[in-house]
Structure 1
């Protein structure tokens, strides 16, 4: 008989996690860096006891908010290209529920995070235990059942021996590039402390290999046949290129066959913006050059992309009637989208196989000077955007709609003393921070501005979460990015609303002596959604941050001013309040010299973000309204474009 080791479930889980490794291209690394935890009665005496007594190499980080710490874990795994990760633990009830949003964010972005929430008692003896949510129709349901909708694998460890099978399957999913995301192992608090004689082989060193599956020859030949009859191909560089570490392969493929490539949010920043064939961000938040070429493309080669509605402009962007799709993806699910040829395999291996077969045909794209012209227009446009300054009453904002910009801007300037434009601030940051620095963003108008105009100068310097567009990801994930690459300066670019939503791990950065930099873009509103509603015929509603007006009873009083610098200073951050371009540049330069986390409180004029370029996005405009503007929007903007878009 095999030897056994008597351990509690908590102790066995910690020992097991210490013995998991990932191997990729011959490089083997520990799978888990550590554990983010907020401890309560549901986990402190089980998993907490095990981590205190014998953590092995796992480093325990104290979170401030369960969602925030889990987003930090996601940022860490994303910056490590899914080769290293954290586990996150909380007590049952609100602590566990707080992690559900982060689990959804991880799954939507295909990023591995292991969630270990405490759970109610398996034997139910003390029911209802503190923080238990009772469902009279089913007593087995707990808060942790909410994770089922947002996880790629879910299990509840109701007996000590269940841990063995559940833990192995959890690792299977976390290490699977085609199916990774959030994984939840719910831990009933009585079972966490129960002892069991685990076989010694459960704790053997396990190496989880991330292989490079090669597409079948049939799929490669189908792709070649499509390409042979096309003249204007376009590559899409998606997140799968990044996680496959296939950026150099894609670049060489593009150069060999003279194919321009556009970038998704997940794929941007792994190939320098200076490469002539890099035509920038594509889709709803895409740029001038990529979207122009996309409309004319007769074949789209999507590499590692999920084809979200932002990448396809709600399946409207690719308007050439002869357009076909070749989909290179390790996930069969994503490869089936857009009725494309399904080249299922690792991005690098697939591009190499396609190159080998395509080379024999002598095929190249039919472009002459279209790519060069598009790039030149794009470069000139970004230069223009970076230097847009407010000029007073004659200033016309880029986002030109029915918003009363003149009145609002005068009010804003009088209140803040700042007339900085958002695109101007983005440009100054891009030109002032170090080339090796990493920017982190996720929500509001900033992802659009950055995908359209940020010039990524070094590998993995552009870290955007846009699968879930989770407000609050920015500051918290920046800490995870810094843990992943402590040698690099990390900047969280965050709107005022997202900062207020969650910046819980900013104090943790002070606690851990781990410096991050936060740039708050304060325009005193949810500017992105304000643009959305006004641009579709609706009046401003529920998006500007204004005082309640006693006369009208509505939130249409004056702007609500907030001192974000004072907030961050209370945590121990070095802070700056900037009102001019000169002050902003000085603050950025001084922040580089600091050893503690910094925050720059930057007031930016509303409506000075960057506009769209030849894109359309389907949103739920009312078909019936008392407003003629909304009626016209449905008739002139939505109905005809829905008719032009692909149906599935």
Structure 2
């Protein structure tokens, strides 16, 4: 066997550079780049290896500098989604705080079922210098370190405690990264001494290796049972989730619903499964859904879940499906999700393969004319509501719906909107008119404040890697912006263009509204000066000394400020148009009215209210909560 003498860091870098994902006729690098921040834990291992290959072969595994470890993982996730999980980025961080900063990103990747390869450094395997800087010490277990916190957050975790272990660990990591049913955060902990140790590496380990994405077809019995249930349904309804996007099943979904007339509602991850103006598309479903989707979902006798994990937002905390005889047909590549809600009709298979097969099995089947008329009526009514919501009102402060309308009006059909947290996900789910399968990117499985700019940067990286020049429009509230904006410097350093619409609403608008609904009167959610006499932030003046536009300008991005005024919507639209024409990143700062809400979609979300309280507002909220809970029901198949 021919071998090469290499360090663990060098072997891992060269190994990753030769891994390929194959999805039908598409073949691309599984890990085409690595993000990293170096410290004493990885500078001599992976850092040295990346420098060596940068000198010898700069294109082998390109290195991208980052400003925040959590943001590195967000970039990898954004990259992975736009590549439909065929490719992702690796991310390396140093021992202790560097590694710990990646934990939120790991949870986000796993919750969203999106691949990200994490390479956090670990303390000395030999323990020759014990304890080292940034090492945790537990008297009951001195082997427990920061990297052990990745175990529950990862779909795969291992630690390379000896150089020889790298071979089997690296191969196992790739298996999970490229497994549609199992993917998520993949973590290989790398002790800082082991990274720099040498081993004889078989050349076979360093050669090109292909990982074929599994696209399992539905079993005949499952397909027949699902088709029979759908044929027997009076009011079937499809819930399209992220699995439709990841398996590139949007064309198959469109062909099925055009043939059968079955209506579709989407989860946040499923946005883009159908274009907004398709006759069978009724918009988002669930707590942040539309009246059109929610009214039909409530009466549906068969719910066909395709690639959805049925989060509480999608099910409106189990109030969305009110038909007492509702049956679930769940199509999912992961059995864990396929069996949800006690279904007796799981189809454990790829979304695209199943939709194609169902199309054949449902040949000449169509919903009845009365149901088609109802679908068309509900769609017309909701479209009219959205038309009105997106219009400029001429008010001094723009409502968030008007802001969405102005941004959408200036965007191109193929542009990608990126969002994650606050009140924007709910408003976008109802109001953003998706016109491309990749046009809607809302991270809502973990809904991580601070994801937006880093995730948007990852989306743009992913698009550029495919030669796609569409614009990425990041929409972010001031609360989420303050959590993590440092990757604006990365965008400037690499000349990566993103458009950021920063909405200043003086606080945490989403939780502020939620706080009102649970009777807590927006406590702790407003950005105001501390009123020391009252010991709260509710009655102090607005925090006018904080200038987020100046903060963004300090990073070197172009900044356009939209001052309040009756023509603010028109000026915002012009600003987006100008940003699209620019070759560099632009941040558009706009003030908004946090008390102007999007139209109600008749969804509900279960957030418990205090059972007893001295506050009348809380007692009133409790009474409403008890009433809403009466609509909850077990979902048993």
TM-score higher than 0.5 here? yes
Measure the CA separation in 1 of the matches of 2:631 and 2:430: 26
Query: Cα offset for 1:271?
Result: 2.2
CA change 1:239–1:500 in 2 (3 A) is same
Query: Cα offset for 1:43?
Result: 0.2
Pair 1:445-2:437 in alignment: no
1:527 is aligned to 509
Q: Secondary structure at the match of 1:326?
A: strand
Q: 2:551 aligns with which of 562, 567, 575?
A: 567
Alignment of 1:150-161 (within 5 A): 150-161=153-164
Q: Is the Cα–Cα contact under 8 Å of residues 136 and 145 in structure 2 kept in the other structure?
A: yes
Q: 1:464 aligns with which of 434, 442, 458?
A: 442
CA change 1:388–1:592 in 2 (3 A) is closer
- Which stretch has the larger CA shift, 551-560 or 33-42? 551-560
Measure the CA separation in 2 of the matches of 1:364 and 1:290: 16
Pair 1:368-2:368 in alignment: no
Q: Is the Cα–Cα contact under 8 Å of residues 245 and 272 in structure 2 kept in the other structure?
A: no
Query: Cα offset for 1:634?
Result: 2.5
CA change 1:589–1:224 in 2 (3 A) is closer
Q: Is the Cα–Cα contact under 8 Å of residues 314 and 645 in structure 1 kept in the other structure?
A: no
Q: Secondary structure at the match of 2:629?
A: helix
1:499 is aligned to 481
Q: Is the Cα–Cα contact under 8 Å of residues 609 and 625 in structure 2 kept in the other structure?
A: no
2:319 is aligned to 316
Query: Cα offset for 1:89?
Result: 0.2
Q: 1:619 aligns with which of 607, 621, 624?
A: 607
CA change 1:85–1:137 in 2 (3 A) is same
1:347-371 deviation per Cα after TM superposition (whole angstroms, max 9, x unaligned)? 01111222222327x4545623001
Q: Secondary structure at the match of 2:117?
A: strand
Measure the CA separation in 2 of the matches of 1:497 and 1:7: 46
1:610 is aligned to 598
- Which stretch has the larger CA shift, 288-297 or 324-333? 288-297
Pair 1:194-2:193 in alignment: no
Q: 1:547 aligns with which of 511, 522, 529?
A: 529
Measure the CA separation in 2 of the matches of 1:349 and 1:590: 42
How many positions carry a matched residue from both structures? 620
2:49 is aligned to 50
1:149 is aligned to 152
Measure the CA separation in 2 of the matches of 1:356 and 1:330: 20
Measure the CA separation in 2 of the matches of 1:97 and 1:607: 37
Query: Cα offset for 1:321?
Result: 1.4
Alignment of 1:68-79 (within 5 A): 68-79=71-82
Pair 1:304-2:307 in alignment: yes
Query: Cα offset for 1:339?
Result: 1.7
Alignment of 1:348-367 (within 5 A): 348-359=352-363, 362=365, 364-365=367-368, 367=371
CA change 1:21–1:642 in 2 (3 A) is farther
Alignment of 1:133-282 (within 5 A): 133-282=136-285
Measure the CA separation in 1 of the matches of 2:535 and 2:618: 25
Measure the CA separation in 2 of the matches of 1:220 and 1:73: 35
Query: Cα offset for 1:251?
Result: 0.8
2:9 is aligned to 10
Q: Secondary structure at the match of 1:382?
A: helix
Measure the CA separation in 1 of the matches of 2:413 and 2:372: 32
Measure the CA separation in 2 of the matches of 1:554 and 1:86: 43
Pair 1:85-2:119 in alignment: no
Alignment of 1:281-300 (within 5 A): 281-300=284-303
CA change 1:386–1:496 in 2 (3 A) is same
Pair 1:637-2:621 in alignment: no
Measure the CA separation in 1 of the matches of 2:174 and 2:266: 30
Query: Cα offset for 1:41?
Result: 0.5
1:412-449 deviation per Cα after TM superposition (whole angstroms, max 9, x unaligned)? xxxxxx51111111101111122221110000000001
For structure 2, the residue ranges without an aligned partner over 5 or more in a row are none
TM-score, reference length from structure 1 = 0.93
Measure the CA separation in 2 of the matches of 1:388 and 1:518: 21
Pair 1:474-2:452 in alignment: yes
- Which stretch has the larger CA shift, 631-640 or 460-469? 631-640
Superposed structure 1 runs of 4+ greater than 4 Å apart: none
- Which stretch has the larger CA shift, 314-323 or 325-334? 314-323
Q: 2:65 aligns with which of 62, 66, 77?
A: 62
Pair 1:598-2:586 in alignment: yes
Measure the CA separation in 1 of the matches of 2:378 and 2:179: 38
1:459-514 deviation per Cα after TM superposition (whole angstroms, max 9, x unaligned)? 31111100000001101111111111131111110000000000121100000011
Query: Cα offset for 1:602?
Result: 0.6
Q: Is the Cα–Cα contact under 8 Å of residues 32 and 88 in structure 2 kept in the other structure?
A: yes
Q: Secondary structure at the match of 2:258?
A: helix
RMSD over aligned Cα atoms: 1.5
Pair 1:577-2:561 in alignment: yes
Q: Is the Cα–Cα contact under 8 Å of residues 302 and 325 in structure 1 kept in the other structure?
A: yes
Measure the CA separation in 1 of the matches of 2:599 and 2:479: 20
Pair 1:377-2:381 in alignment: yes
Measure the CA separation in 1 of the matches of 2:462 and 2:522: 41
TM-score, reference length from structure 2 = 0.95
Pair 1:38-2:37 in alignment: yes
Query: Cα offset for 1:243?
Result: 0.5
Query: Cα offset for 1:247?
Result: 0.4
Q: Is the Cα–Cα contact under 8 Å of residues 618 and 638 in structure 1 kept in the other structure?
A: no
Measure the CA separation in 2 of the matches of 1:269 and 1:245: 11
Q: Secondary structure at the match of 2:314?
A: helix
1:401 is aligned to none
Q: Is the Cα–Cα contact under 8 Å of residues 74 and 454 in structure 2 kept in the other structure?
A: yes
Q: Is the Cα–Cα contact under 8 Å of residues 315 and 646 in structure 1 kept in the other structure?
A: yes
2:118 is aligned to 115
Query: Cα offset for 1:388?
Result: 5.1
Q: Is the Cα–Cα contact under 8 Å of residues 122 and 188 in structure 1 kept in the other structure?
A: yes
Q: Is the Cα–Cα contact under 8 Å of residues 259 and 365 in structure 1 kept in the other structure?
A: no
For structure 1, the residue ranges without an aligned partner over 5 or more in a row are 392-417
Q: Secondary structure at the match of 2:89?
A: strand
